[in-house]
Amino acid sequence: MIAIWWAPCLLLGGALLTLATWRRPAWSRRLGPAVAVSGCLAGVPPAAAALGGGTLASVNLPWSIPCGALRLEMDALSALFALPILIVTALAAIYGAEYLRPREGGQNPAASWFFYNLLTGSMLLVILARNAMLFLLAWDLMSLSSFFLVLSDSEKESVRRAGWTYLVAMHIGTVFLLALFILLGRGAHALDFEGFSLATAGSAAAGAAFALAVVGFGAKAGFVPLHVWLPEAHPAAPSHVSAVMSGVMIKTGIYGLLRTLTWLGAPPPWWGGTLVAIGAVSGVLGVLFALAQHDLKRLLAYHSVENIGIIALGLGLGLLGVSYGNGGMAFLGFAGALLHVVNHALFKSLLFLGAGSVLHACGTRELDRLGGLWKRMPATGAGFLVGAAAICGLPPLNGFVSELLIYLGSFRALSAGGGLPVGAAAAGVAAAGALALIGGLALACFAKAFGIVFLGEPRTAAAAAAHEGGPAMRLPM
């Protein structure tokens, strides 16, 4: 089996090599995507093996940084998040190779590809790290590299504002994560994950750790009200970067929350109730804000808040099932949430790539300046339609399956024979009601967006002259 360190080493080392081609932009345009694709391909075999129940792959090396060793491990939880990262970033790199050409202007592509590969490598390190110092180092590297990618069009004041909002929000979240790891590692001589456990430390310490994790990781995931950076930063970034940030980067927050839960022991009911409440509010407000947007990428960004809310609903139901000893409810909640992590990575990336093709062809993201693109861009229109159906949870696409599992988990909480207390039933009602409302509003939102963009007649000369991008943009979609 290919060693698990090959992928991050190829990506991080290749990022530096790309930066060395600063004076040769033509080399940068070829080397940057090649590094991204080869690094991601190197990571697929160990991730697939770990997800399939194979032997866990691990690395444990001494290093000079205090508080532990350089520890990496690929287990099934890491693999579930690593595979979407590898797939989406590789496809987005191929797309970006063509998408960036007309956008570069006076910018050197070496910088763009340096930060792109740095982002991909640091996301993998976050998923693989088994030491708090290494995790925080990779976490900050991920935030900084994505910050510079958001600032690709830094001559625009709105882009600069979006970048700084994002950076401030990420560092506020990091403060809570630092407090979390200090709490988990107190009394130990190292900050290795294998030594973290508050299962017997008392409910107060475990509850404090849970609260710190929800805030610290929730800032990255985009939980309401910690989402303020997301609808600003995602539209500002180049579209292939938006696909990566929205499709997979924000899921590192979900990964971090799940990893933390493995150290905290049996969850009390209020943990699950908290996540159900956060999920319901995030999901409903996210789709309501999306309905009010006239900017296509900003609309999609708010739908990321909505879908993170759906994932939180599933996690909350899963925790409640564990708290009350209801295995069916726990399984359905966690299974729905984890499957939705994968599903959202695919359909949201597809939608952002489709929006990028529209911007590439028409020069605008404003819905009122588009129209009639189905005849001129049939491949983009077909891809966007599939993504829209998936994000609305329509059968037979997989978005329907993950949402159905969460529905079934909420129904399990309401079943008369479940023997569950009133709190669990209330959470089931809240989850099912929120999910139903989210689904209906999402369908209305994407019927509007797709109809305005792709149907009818062109509203501007740019829309009338639109055409498909080249194969490098069409094939990833």
Q: Mean pLDDT of residues grouped by 10 in the chain (477 residues)?
A: 77 88 82 91 89 73 69 90 95 91 62 92 93 91 92 81 89 92 77 73 81 94 89 87 93 95 89 94 94 91 94 95 89 96 95 93 88 90 95 92 94 69 84 93 93 89 86 92
Percent of the chain residues past pLDDT 90, beyond the cut: 53
Q: Which residues, including other chains, have CB under 8 Å from residue 4's CB and lie 6 or more apart? A: 43, 46, 57, 58, 59, 72, 73, 74, 128
**Separation of alpha carbons 80 and 233, rounded Å:** 26
Q: How far apart are CA 395 and CA 381, in angstroms?
A: 19
pLDDT of residue 106: 42
Burial of residue 212 (number of CB atoms within 10 Å: 0-12, 13-18, 19+): buried
Cβ-based neighbours of 407, under 8 Å, separated by 6 or more: 432, 435
121 token code pair: 């490598």
For residue 106, give Cα distances in angstroms to 15, 110, 153: 21, 12, 11
User: How far is the C-alpha of 79 from the C-alpha of 410, rounded, in Å?
Assistant: 27
- 187, amino acid identity: G
Q: What is the rounded distance in angstroms from the CA atom of residue 148 to the CA atom of residue 233? A: 11
**Hey, what are 413's tokens?**
């909480």
Tell me the torsion sign for CA atoms 332, 124, 384, 451. Answer: positive
pLDDT at 199: 62
What pLDDT shows up at residue 416? 47
CA distance 442 to 399: 12
d(CA 317, CA 319): 5
Q: Single out the residue of 267, 142, 143 nearest to residue 209, CA to CA.
A: 267
Q: Please, are residues 238 and 149 in contact by the beta-carbon 8 Å criterion?
A: yes
Distances (CA, A) of 233 to 167, 236, 238, 455: 10, 5, 10, 28
Residue 138 CA to residue 295 CA, distance in Å, equals: 32
pLDDT in tens, 178-232: 999 988 887 666 687 877 777 655 578 888 999 999 999 999 999 999 888 888 8
Given a contact cutoff of 8 angstroms between Cβ atoms, the answer to whether 289 and 305 are in contact is yes
**Residue 366 carries which DSSP code?**
B
Quickly count helices (H) and strands (E) in the chain. 19, 2
Token duo for residue 56: 């866990």
pLDDT value of position 380: 93
The pLDDT value given to residue 55: 59
Name the DSSP class of 66. Answer: S
Give me the pLDDT at residue 385, please.
95
**pLDDT tens, position by position, 102-113:** 554 445 788 889
Q: State the pLDDT at residue 65.
A: 64
Q: Phi, psi (5° rounding) for residue 58?
A: -145, 155
Distance CA 172, CA 140 (A): 11
Q: Are 329 and 321 a contacting pair, CB within 8 Å?
A: yes
